[in-house]
Structures are given as structure tokens and as C-alpha cells.
Amino acid sequence: MANDPFDYAPAPESRSVVDIKSSYGLFINGEFVAGGGKSFKTISPSTEEVLSEVAEADADDVDKAVKAARRAYSRVWSRMSGAERGKYLFRIARIIQERAREIAVLESIDNGKPIKESRDVDIPTAAAHFFYYAGWADKLEHAGFGPDPQSLGVAGQVIPWNFPFLMLAWKIAPALATGNTVVLKPAETTPLTALLFAEICQQADLPPGVVNIVTGAGTTGQALVSHEDVDKVAFTGSTAVGRAIARAVAGSRKKVTLELGGKAANIVFDDAPIDQAIEGIVTGIFFNQGHVCCAGSRLLVQESVAEEVLERLKRRMGTLRVGDPLDKNTDVGAINSDRQLQRIRELADVGEAEGAGRWSPTCDLPDHGFWFPPTIFTGVSQAHRIAREEIFGPVLSVLTFRTPKEAVEKANNTPYGLSAGIWSDKGSRTLWMAGQLRAGVVWSNTFNKFDPASPFGGYKESGYGREGGRHGLEGYLKGGQ
């Protein structure tokens, strides 16, 4: 929109609401403590500015955190009534609501996602998640898991960088509601909002040790999930790491839930509500820069309307505003890390080399930071790598189909099975499709919708277990492991 007379002036959200310390320790037993010595830098992916120096937890630190969690579990948390546990969670939900803007800004700085998303999606949904599970804490006997459901003990939780605060909420809220205590490791590129959450626990007077936050990279996570006094492992991240975790816990009594990668099909029929379908395609793949495990990264469009859909999609992509995550009008922010940017570039290059047609709207990308323009590949077939591998970026592969059965076959022709989308005005076929698709979440005439009351999780190599809803309690209660 270069020649647009209505050129939106910059509308930056103020950074003054956040206070980033120059260094952070680990949050163990209710207080911030120095780690074993090593530390790492967290940077802003939109500017490459160093934001803070964060302690890197080693095996000893992890052990201290697990011990603190165990102590809190046996002395306080497991003895407390569900109603009283629930009150702590309600408090946390309220403090998140009260400090929503601060958390949103910090999230956008550390992660690179548009403030519009952190403000309107991530943080409100995180608060809602705590609110929802707070209400379960004193109703577990009604949840359908037996008359007297029991907690597991200490949960070791490892979360990704794409929705740092929201994934924290998804992990911690059900764990605490069911009576477990937690050691959580945020991703090494996005530790700051988890550390802010530690402050929230302090403000809520949460008993020390109930929540412990250990920062670090893969080795820290490994130490946590393989710690012998951890009763539960919850992981969200790549399928490769998920597989490694499944191996590591073999032979133990640890209960495991894994929420892993995806390569979702977003299926558009010729009778789709077309303008909403275009929005759904855009939301499906460009929401959060495509850093979404359930992203609709494969567009399956019925041949008879493929040309028109593509034309409209391109026009719509021309209005996407890529840039400063803190600008309130930004639609697509920064890629989270240099490493991820290299991965996206590599796969996009492969797509081109394999003969797919690459297209991006013209957009001025900032000079500093990690950026990748919204991109689509046309003429993609099932054999292309970009149709099979999770890119985890703003890159859409477009394929076509002729019949509903062909759409189902193509959609299911992947080792993944996290989500899928169906766009059609014919309800009967939509429900038939939903029945055929091997995916844990199927959206119809919408995409990328999340709600605390709604379970989420994958089929096949997208992992096992469900987070959210009544089903999300099961992974934190005894039985079934």
C-alpha cells in the first residue's frame, strides 16, 4: 500500500509500562536465586537489542527446584483443599488481568509478536485459562475421572517460544488446580514473561515452591524431564524433542503429555463464504508469524475456485502490515530468532528449488532484527518438502483438490495430526469431513481459535494428551499411565 494517501502514522505502544532488569536469576521456592553460574542473553528479535542476562539452570539448580516443588507438594499443596487452591488461581487470574498491558508489551518485546496479538489474544486467554481451571480445583470429583481423583506430585514442564505466556498458563493452571506443584522451563529465547509470572506468584502469596521457574536451553530441559523425582512431564515443542522425551521417560512411572508439531490442512470448498475464508487462510498461516503448531500451513483449495481464491488471497496479503511488534497496527511481527529465520529461509529456498511458485507482497522489512515476508507457494504437490515439513513461519503451501475424498486423503497424508480447517456452507459435508480428518482440532469456517474450555492436542506425531477443557485435567491426575 505504498501510494496510499491514508498512510497510518506510527502508533507505538509505550514501553514505559515494563521494567526489564539487567539480569534475572531462577525462581525457586518462592524467591529469585542465582543459578550455578552460567547465564545467557535474551534479545529482542525485532531489533536484536540485548534485553537482559538470564541465569542458565544446570542439573543442580534443576534438582533444587524439583526439591522445592516436592516439599511444597507434600507439606502444603497436596494437603490444601481444592477450594483454597482455587482461590490462589483466581488471584493469579486477576493479577494477570490487572497487569495485562505490562505482560503484553513485555511479550511483544521478547518474542517479536505484534502487540495486537499479545494484547488481544495471548494475555486475555492466559488469564481466562487460570480463571477456568481455578473453578475446577474444587470440582474434580465431577470431572469424570472417578469419585476421588488424585494429583500426581511434581510436574516438570517445558514450553516453547511461540506463545510464551499463554503456554505457561496452559501448563501451570491445570497442574495447580489438580493439586500438583510445578517446575517450569520457558524457552531460552523468551524467558521474560515467565519471570514476570514469578513476580505474580509472589504478589498472589502463592506458597513457596508451588511454582518454580528455571531458565535455560535444551540441557536444562533435559535435566528437568529426566529428573527422577518428577512425576509428570508436560512438553510443548518440536516432534523431534517430543520423541526424545518419550524415549527418556521409558521405564519410569512418569505421566507424559506432548503437544508437538503440525502441518495442518486448511480446506476450502467451492461453496465457502469466500471473504471469510480468505480471512481464515490469512489467520491460519500469518497469525503469530506462522509460529503456531496448529497453523494452517497447507491450503487445500478446490480446483474450480483455486484461481479466484489465490487472487483474493494475494490482494488481502497486500494489506498485511509487517514491522515493529509494538506498533498497534502491525499484523505480522518479527521471526523469533536468527536460528528460526535460517530454518524458514532454507525451507523456502527448497520450495523454490523444487519448482513451486513463490510469491510475497512487496513490504519494506526493517534493517535490524529477524524478518520474513508473508509468503505463499503455489503449484505445490504432496511430494514437496514444503508440503510435508513444518516450516513454523509465515509460509503457506497451496495445493488443490477435486473431491471431498481427495481432500481428506491429502489432508491426512502426513505424520502430523494436530489441526485442520474446513470452509464450506454445507453443514453435512463439513461434519462428514470433520469425522474423516485425523486431527485433534477441526475448525470449520474459522481457524486458530482457542478457549480454556476447549481441549487441544494432536493425533499421531503431533503428540498425545489434551490441554484445555475438562479433558485437560486428565494429564495431571492419577490413572492411565
Q: For another protein, which is the closer residue by CB, 226 or 329?
A: 329
Does position 407 bind another protein by CB under 8 A? no
**Binding of another protein at residue 429 (CB under 8 A)?**
yes
| DSSP letter (8 states) at residue 18 | -
Which of these segments, 52-60, 138-146, 224-232, 367-375, binds another protein (CB under 8 A)? 138-146
What gap in Å lies between CA 310 and CA 277, rounded to an integer? Answer: 11
Binding to another protein by CB under 8 A, coded x per residue (else -) over 217-256, reads ----------------------------------------
How many Å is the Cα radius of gyration of the chain?
22
Q: At which residue does the C-alpha cell 470448498 appear?
A: 269
Number of alpha carbons in the 13 Å side-chain half-sphere of residue 320: 31
Distance CA 147, CA 149 (A): 6
Given 205, 219, 431, 479, the residue binding another protein (CB under 8 A): 431
Examine residue 435 and tell whether it contacts another protein (CB under 8 A): yes
- Amino acid identity of residue 263, one-letter, is K
Question: Is position 303 an interface residue for another protein (rule: CB under 8 A)?
Answer: no
Q: Which stretch binds another protein (CB under 8 A): 151-159, 386-394, 421-429, 457-465?
A: 421-429
Catalytic residue among 13, 117, 293, 390: 293
Q: Residue 363 catalytic?
A: no
Q: Is 294 one of the annotated active-site residues of the chain?
A: no
Which residue, 144 or 355, is less far from another protein as judged by CB? 144
Alpha-carbon gap, residue 342 to 443, rounded angstroms = 31
Burial status of residue 364 (CB atoms within 10 A of its CB: 0-12, 13-18, 19 or more): exposed
Q: Does 366 bind another protein (CB under 8 A)?
A: no
The DSSP code sequence of 446-458 is --S---TTS-B--
Task: Output the smallest distance, CB 16 to another protein, in A.
Answer: 17
Cβ burial of 228 (10 Å; 0-12, 13-18, 19+) is exposed
Helix (H, G, I), strand (E, B) or coil at 122: helix
- What is the C-alpha to C-alpha distance for residues 308 and 310, in angstroms, rounded to an integer? 5
Say how many C-beta atoms besides its own lie within 10 A of residue 362's C-beta.
Answer: 8
Distance of alpha carbon 370 from the chain centroid: 19
User: Annotated catalytic residue: which of 13, 56, 259, 474?
Assistant: 259
Binding positions for another protein, 165-184, rule CB under 8 A = none
Q: Rule CB under 8 A: choose which of 17, 34, 50, 83 binds another protein.
A: 83
- The full DSSP string for 328-359 is TT-SB---S-HHHHHHHHHHHHHHHHTTPEEE
Q: How far is it, in rounded angstroms, from Cα 210 to Cα 197?
A: 13
What residues numbered 142-161 form the site for another protein, per CB under 8 A? 142-144
Is 36 a binder of another protein (CB under 8 A)?
no
At how many degrees (to 10) do helices 164-177 and 192-203 cross?
40
40 burial level (CB within 10 Å; 0-12, 13-18, 19+): middle
The nearest distance, CB 308 to another protein, in angstroms, is 6
Query: Does 415 sit near another protein (CB under 8 A)?
Result: no
DSSP helix/strand/coil, 151? strand
Among positions 66, 206, 272, 387, the unique one binding another protein when judged by CB under 8 A: 272
String marking each residue 85-124 x if it binds another protein according to CB under 8 A: -xx--x-------------------------x---x----
Q: Among residues 8 and 21, whose Cβ is nearest to another protein?
A: 8
Instruction: Tell which one of 219, 304, 342, 481 touches another protein (CB under 8 A).
Output: 304
Contacting another protein (CB under 8 A), which of 18, 109, 305, 411?
305
Does 138 contact another protein by CB under 8 A? yes
Angle at 51 between CA 50 and CA 55, to 5 degrees: 100
Of the candidate residues 71, 243, 314, 328, the single one contacting another protein (CB under 8 A): 328
6 binds another protein (CB under 8 A): yes
* Stretch in the footprint of another protein (CB under 8 A) among 136-144, 220-228, 253-261, 381-389: 136-144
Distance CA 347, CA 187 (A): 23
CB of 231 vs another protein, minimal distance in Å: 25
Which one of residues 329, 378, 412, 413 is an interface residue with another protein (CB under 8 A)? Answer: 329
Of 8-16, 26-34, 257-265, 394-402, the segment contacting another protein by CB under 8 A is: 8-16
Choice from 10, 146, 355, 415 touching another protein (CB under 8 A): 10
> What is the distance between the alpha carbons of residues 167 and 468, in angstroms, rounded to a whole number?
11
Minimum distance from residue 64 beta carbon to another protein (Å): 34
- Cβ atoms of 289 and 117 within 8 Å: the answer is no
Q: Are 156 and 232 in contact (CB under 8 A)?
A: yes
Catalytic site positions: 259, 293
Which residues are near another protein by CB under 8 A?
Answer: 1, 3-11, 83, 86-87, 90, 116, 120, 128, 131-132, 134-139, 142-144, 270-276, 279-280, 304-305, 308, 311, 319, 328-329, 404, 425, 427-429, 431-432, 434-435, 445-446, 452-453, 469-470
